[in-house]
A and B are shown apart, each in its own frame.
Chain A
Amino acid sequence: MSATYRAVNWNAHKKKYDLIALACVALFVAVYVGVGSLVFRGNGAISAPVLAIRALGVCAVVMLHVVLMIGPMARLTHLAAPLLYNRRHLGVMTFVVALAHAALATLYYGSFGGANPLTVVLTMSGSGASPGAFPFVVPGAVALMVLFLMAATSHDFWLANLGAWWWKWIHMGVYGAYVCIVGHLALGVMQSEKSVVYLVMILVGAGLLSGLHIAAGVRAWKRDARTDDAVQGWIDAGALDAIPMGCAISVRARGHAPVAVYRHEGGVSAIHGVCAHQGGPLAEGRVVGGCVTCPWHGYQYKPEDGCAPAPYDDKLATHEVKVVDGRVMVRIEGDSR
């Protein structure tokens, strides 16, 4: 990456994405509060802060599900790529909504009693190992801390300085956060909110998430396994005719990261198959405007030399390539996982 960092590199798509996401959050909270105050009225009305705490909490849980669904959806169909493009803004919004839920709950339940509200909610939500006595606020707080760490390190500055590899591992902490939130609900408010609606919502959510992730994972596993055993040296990447113009196929040699073999107007090029930005699969990209373009966030490299167009200064390794009897041969050597 290069070019001076900005808070957000706004473009039309990102603006629309954020506006729609904010509108959905507002719609969700408004409908929850609206229905909650219509169904429970008069002397049986639910206290306004409780209604707000619950609206924000349920909203954050639904947002987390949406955020988690986008990744595998984009791996299953390239049509979902626009949802993936600005996902980190959605992640930051999820943290903000969860923080609002936590702050309001801490102030409402923990204040007005002369004690530190944080100490109250963290120590008084239970003290035993049974479901009824489990301190349900603790897993909620852990999940919030994970979401904070993810939101705080979401800018490309952190991605560049932590390195995509570490950054991705840190951000996989969201799976732990998801499990913690299930515990926060099942051992917390669901102990006395026994409507089967909540049980169904959690199980359907978990089913959808795991179904999508497993489907996308199995697909990727099969694709990775297909090329995993090729030996090093000159490798037969397949027939030239099998590569549509402007597209690529992925070649993998043992002990080596995948290589994207591109067919473009200038001939055939082989370029390191992992994007320097977030590690996106370059072989699934296209040539756009003469440059190899990553399917994840549109990072570009010139196919001849692997250099990003100015003002960016990234460079990906390239490999020798030749066409023999209509077959594309790529030379992959060394160890560069």
Chain B
Amino acid sequence: MAGMDWFLAILGGYLAIGAVFAVAFVTRGAERIDANARGAGWGFRLMAVPGSAALWPWLAMKWARPRRVVTLTPRDTLAHRRVHLLAWCVIPLLVVAIVAWGWLGGVDPTGVGAVSP
């Protein structure tokens, strides 16, 4: 209980700082790291708030040292495609294992009981 309260307090603090940061970031910072955000409307800026609040330490670093990354040759997605395949060879086994454990291993608390003297 105490552990979870601490975790929630830390998470809440992280997101609270993130929320304050996000306001500054979407109004000023976003266009510093990405020229396409210059002159963007409020719809876009509002939409960027949750992500900015969640990823604020990384964005703060980028904002402090803006560096326009120009990628002429986007990286191949071969690794992703292979991971998709590998992942889906493992996931069904996990699903069956979890369901079997939960279904066969779990005793229905609302099921039939027995009374022994």
Contacts and interface: CB of A to CB of B under 8 A. Distances in A.
- Whether A and B touch (Cβ < 8 Å) is answered with yes
Interface of A: 1-8, 71-72, 116, 118-119, 122-123, 130-132, 134, 148-149, 151-153, 155, 157-158, 160-161, 163-165, 168-169, 172, 175, 178-179, 182-183, 186-187, 190-192, 194, 199, 202-203, 206-207, 209-210, 213-214, 216-218, 220-221, 224, 257-258, 272, 274-276, 279, 315-317, 336-337
A3 B108 CA distance: 58
Interface residues of B, number: 58
B78 interface: yes
Given A210-B92, A257-B76, A182 B43 contact: no
B44 to A, nearest CB: 5
A184 B5 CA distance: 21
B48 A155 contact: yes
B78 A224 contact: yes
B102 A131 contact: yes
13 contacts: A5-B36, A5-B40, A6-B43, A134-B102, A157-B37, A168-B77, A202-B95, A210-B89, A213-B87, A257-B74, A274-B75, A276-B71, A279-B76
Nearest to A150: B51
Contacts of A158: 51
A186 B101 CA distance: 8
A153 B81 CA distance: 21
Given A119-B8, A279-B77, 13 more contacts: A123-B1, A132-B109, A149-B54, A164-B74, A165-B77, A172-B80, A172-B83, A182-B94, A187-B106, A190-B106, A207-B92, A257-B74, A276-B74
Given A157-B30, A182-B98, A202-B95, A191 B76 contact: no
Nearest to B55: A153
A217 B84 contact: yes
B81 A186 contact: no
Nearest to B58: A162
Contacts of B106: 130-132, 187, 190-191
A218 B82 CA distance: 9
